[in-house]
Amino acid sequence: MKEYNIVLCGVGGQGTILASKVIAQTAVRLNQKCRVGETHGMSQRGGSVISHVRIGENIYGALTPDAHGDLMIAFEPVESLRYMNYLKKDAYIILNNQPIIPTSVNSGLATYPAYTEIINHLTQISKNIIDLPATKLSEEIGGVLFLNMVVLGTAVKVPGFPYSKEQMMESIKELVKPQFIDTNLRAFEAGVSAYKIKET
């Protein structure tokens, strides 16, 4: 299959690793070659995190090369800017609109940019931005723990995304604890319904 590179970024603890795993598990079940590269250790403590999921016969490494990302799933707005270098021109960007304010801002050492400013910077590389109230949707369903499922739901509607809603749901069922399958799937469905490209 054609190479497809996904960059998932956010803040340690937001669930990017499980989200990466759901996509990769789908690839493995369908017998497609995939690689996942994750951040562990120090960077997990509320730091900035990034995961790469790469699918395709000609991929070898776990890192998306610069300017080769087809899709970015940003769990936190400003984190999308930190990893913009990975995106192709006109890549799709799923942008959770809820900021997590870093300690540097709280203690007055830095400022957090306005959401519109973040969008303006992103539009320089792509106008295919899905402006998503993912945190809000996850809270309505059961809490921020389910944020990763919301964004994954939205991802299946992105043109070119390699897997269907049903294929991804199968993987969620394989990976989450039985008692949480239902809530996870509802969060996922909420994400599917929320897909909409932002008018710019």
**Which of residues 108, 116, 159, 177 is near other proteins by CB under 8 A?**
108
Our finding on whether 59 is near other proteins (CB under 8 A) is yes
CA distances from residue 85 to 41, 72, 79, 180 in whole angstroms, order as listed: 23, 11, 12, 36
| All residues at 6 or more sequence positions from 148 whose CB lies less than 8 Å from its CB, including other chains | 14, 15, 16, 18, 19, 22, 75
Q: Of 136 and 192, which has the nearer Cβ to other proteins? A: 136
Q: Give the tokens for residue 31.
A: 């017998």
> Binding string to other proteins for residues 23 to 42, with x set by CB under 8 A, is what?
-xx-xx--x-xxxxxxxxxx
**Piece of 21-29, 159-167, 180-188, 191-199 that binds other proteins (CB under 8 A):** 21-29
Element housing 50 (H / E): strand 48-55
Kindly list the residues in this chain that would bind other proteins in the complex (CB under 8 A): 11-12, 21, 24-25, 27-28, 31, 33-48, 58-63, 65-68, 78-79, 81-87, 101-113, 117, 121, 124-125, 144
